[in-house]
């Protein structure tokens, strides 16, 4: 009678386990100690493509994974074999951190589906009420998408590292070429200065154009010459700060020693001298003065750098790839004295690529437009807006002001040489004409919109690169 009840209990347990596994979304199968499949749930059928009726009662579970017989993790558990000793699992498995005696693995199975699948497996022992091993259970999860994503991320990471290495090498070469160009520029500085003076004498009718060209060349030389003494001063300030700290420490030591002075006359004279020189005030004021002076030197260095960036003498008036925004910022710093007392400048820069251009000439265009915008603003403080953007293969920048505007009758003449609406002596009428010629040389266009009494917007549109025929002529 006891045997009958045990068999009924095992049968009910098996039925309950089957119902539990069939309702479980994770693919799971169970084998007994003879490696016979006792359970093969519906998730297993869906993932592996083998039906329950084909598998239960057989030892063919390997067929769902391999083309020839091979043990699975569940088989090793049933046979009490350490996966570390099996060549198929030696580098792929790890003991489970949650279940005692269980193992986990992750492997690729090319026979699953059209392109194969990555599966994550967990196999655990099954024991009876007496603790005796009665089989093993193995669950499977499809992690193909995760592995594919990881592999793609790894490849992207490798490609990024390669790109960084290449870019680093290119930057090193760019720095070397820039240093070589600067050496050449220093050698030619005197010659270029003399040339600018000659042009200034022989081209009086192009005063505005000559000023802009000479500013660019002279700024480079001035910036270079100023950089050296500024560097000395900056370095000496650091040394002076150290010396002052040492002197203050020495004064502290003298002040502490005052109490030990026996002669009251000497002590009184020291106290009087300390009060006379206002030692306490000097302790607080000298560091402040040092800091303010250091900030002034840093400001001078920034202005010098902007002069060099504006002149762009490193380009040697050759066509190079440049960022319009950088040139506009340098130009703003150069003409800030013309603008800062008249208008607030608002920059709304859109993302734009570098363009192939003559940077110094484009800077001259920006300078003319910015100065004209400042001159168009009356006695009340105004507003100048600078924008950049990209339209397909073209890049543009615009300068807008809320000044007096341009009369409709004059709009058609503003690019004519020597035409100006400014007072006598305040304009040559060549700024916009020069700008128009530079933009035409770059195969671009310059457009204007203006409302009298409300303001004006100039928009300059330039191609990203020169036409192929010009590139060939430059290299031939």
Q: For 196-220, what is the HEC assignment? A: HHHHHHHCHHHHHHHHHHHHHHHHH
176, 97, 102: which is closest to 139 by C-alpha?
102
Q: Tell me the percentage of the chain whose pLDDT exceeds 70.
A: 76
- What is the rounded distance in angstroms from the CA atom of residue 334 to the CA atom of residue 368? 12
pLDDT, one tens digit per residue, over 14-33 is 555 666 676 678 889 999 99
Q: Which two tokens stand for residue 117?
A: 């699948």
Q: What is the largest CA-CA distance in the chain?
A: 127
- What is the rounded distance in angstroms from the CA atom of residue 396 to the CA atom of residue 350? 10
432, 429, 381, 375: which is closest to 404 by C-alpha?
375
Q: Which residues contact 417 (CB under 8 A, 6 or more apart)?
A: 429, 430, 433
Q: 343-349 and 382-391: which strand pairing?
A: parallel
The pLDDT of residue 314 is 45
Neighbours of 109 (CB within 10 A): 16
| Residues 270, 261 contacting (CB under 8 angstroms) | yes
pLDDT, one tens digit per residue, over 195-246 is 766 555 444 334 444 554 555 555 556 666 676 677 667 777 777 777 777 7
pLDDT, one tens digit per residue, over 308-358 is 665 554 445 678 999 999 989 888 887 887 888 889 999 999 999 999 998
Q: Which residues contact 308 (CB under 8 A, 6 or more apart)?
A: 219, 220, 223, 224
126, 123, 140: which is closest to 50 by C-alpha?
140
Q: Which residues contact 103 (CB under 8 A, 6 or more apart)?
A: 73, 76, 77, 83, 89, 93, 94, 95, 96, 122, 123
- What is the rounded distance in angstroms from the CA atom of residue 138 to the CA atom of residue 136? 7
Domain ranges of the chain: 2-148, 186-311, 314-476
- What is the rounded distance in angstroms from the CA atom of residue 400 to the CA atom of residue 369? 9
Look-up: residue for tokens 């809320």?
402
The pLDDT of residue 220 is 58
Residue 443: pLDDT band (50, 70, 90) is very high
The pLDDT of residue 476 is 55
Residue 395: pLDDT band (50, 70, 90) is very high
* Span 110-127, average pLDDT: 85
Does the domain made of 2-148 have the CATH classification 3.30.450.20? yes
Q: Which residues contact 137 (CB under 8 A, 6 or more apart)?
A: 28, 29, 30, 39, 74, 123, 124, 126
Q: Which of 38-52, 295-309, 408-422, 447-461 has the lowest mean pLDDT?
A: 295-309
Residue 421: pLDDT band (50, 70, 90) is low
Domain boundaries 314-476, corresponding CATH code? 3.30.565.10
- What is the rounded distance in angstroms from the CA atom of residue 277 to the CA atom of residue 227? 36
pLDDT at 302 over 60: yes
Considering 205-214, 309-318, 398-407, 465-474, the range whose residues carry the highest mean pLDDT is 398-407
Do the domains at 2-148 and 314-476 have one common CATH topology?
no
| Residues 13, 39 contacting (CB under 8 angstroms) | no
- What is the rounded distance in angstroms from the CA atom of residue 203 to the CA atom of residue 345? 33
- What is the rounded distance in angstroms from the CA atom of residue 29 to the CA atom of residue 18? 10
Look-up: residue for tokens 């002040």?
255
- What is the rounded distance in angstroms from the CA atom of residue 386 to the CA atom of residue 376? 15
């Amino acid at each position: 009678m006891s045997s009958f009840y045990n068999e009924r209990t095992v049968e009910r347990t098996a039925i309950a386990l089957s119902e539990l596994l069939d309702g479980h979304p994770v693919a799971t199968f169970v084998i007994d100690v003879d490696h016979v499949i006792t359970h093969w749930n519906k998730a297993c059928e869906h993932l592996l493509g083998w039906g329950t009726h084909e598998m239960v009662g057989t030892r063919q579970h390997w067929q769902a994974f391999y083309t020839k017989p091979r043990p699975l993790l569940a088989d090793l558990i049933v046979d009490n074999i350490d996966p570390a000793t099996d060549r198929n699992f030696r580098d792929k498995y790890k003991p489970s951190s949650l279940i005692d005696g269980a193992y986990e693995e992750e492997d690729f199975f090319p026979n699953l589906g059209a392109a194969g699948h990555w599966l994550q497996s967990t196999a655990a022992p099954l024991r009876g009420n007496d603790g005796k091993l009665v089989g093993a259970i193995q669950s499977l999860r499809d992690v193909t998408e995760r592995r594919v994503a990881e592999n793609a991320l790894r490849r992207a990471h490798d490609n990024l590292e390669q790109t960084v290495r290449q870019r680093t090498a290119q930057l090193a070469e760019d720095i070397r070429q820039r240093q070589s160009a600067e050496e050449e520029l220093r050698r030619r500085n005197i010659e270029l200065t003399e040339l600018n003076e000659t042009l200034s004498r022989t081209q009086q009718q192009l005063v505005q154009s000559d000023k802009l060209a000479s500013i660019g060349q002279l700024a480079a030389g001035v910036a270079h010459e100023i950089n050296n003494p500024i560097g000395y001063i900056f370095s000496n300030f650091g040394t002076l700060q150290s010396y002052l700290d040492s002197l203050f420490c020495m004064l502290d030591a003298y002040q502490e020693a005052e109490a030990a002075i026996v002669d009251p006359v000497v002590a009184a004279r020291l106290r009087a001298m300390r009060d006379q020189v206002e030692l306490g005030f000097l302790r607080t004021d000298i560091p402040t003065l040092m800091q303010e002076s250091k900030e002034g030197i840093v400001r001078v260095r920034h202005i010098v750098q902007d002069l060099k960036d504006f002149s762009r003498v490193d380009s040697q008036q050759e066509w190079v790839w440049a960022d319009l925004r950088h040139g506009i910022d340098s130009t703003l710093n150069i003409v800030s004295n013309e603008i800062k007392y008249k208008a607030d400048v608002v920059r709304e820069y859109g993302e734009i690529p570098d363009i192939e251009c003559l940077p110094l000439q484009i800077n001259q265009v920006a300078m003319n437009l910015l100065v004209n915008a400042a001159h168009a603003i009356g006695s009340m403080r105004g507003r100048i807006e600078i924008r950049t953007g990209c339209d397909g293969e073209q890049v543009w920048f615009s300068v807008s002001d809320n000044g007096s505007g341009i009369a409709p009758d004059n709009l058609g003449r503003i690019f004519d040489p020597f035409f100006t609406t400014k007072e006598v002596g305040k304009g040559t009428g060549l700024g916009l004409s020069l700008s128009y010629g530079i933009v035409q040389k770059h195969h671009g266009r310059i457009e204007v919109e203006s409302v009298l009494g409300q303001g004006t917007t100039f928009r300059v549109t330039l191609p990203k690169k020169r036409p192929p025929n010009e590139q060939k002529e430059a290299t031939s």
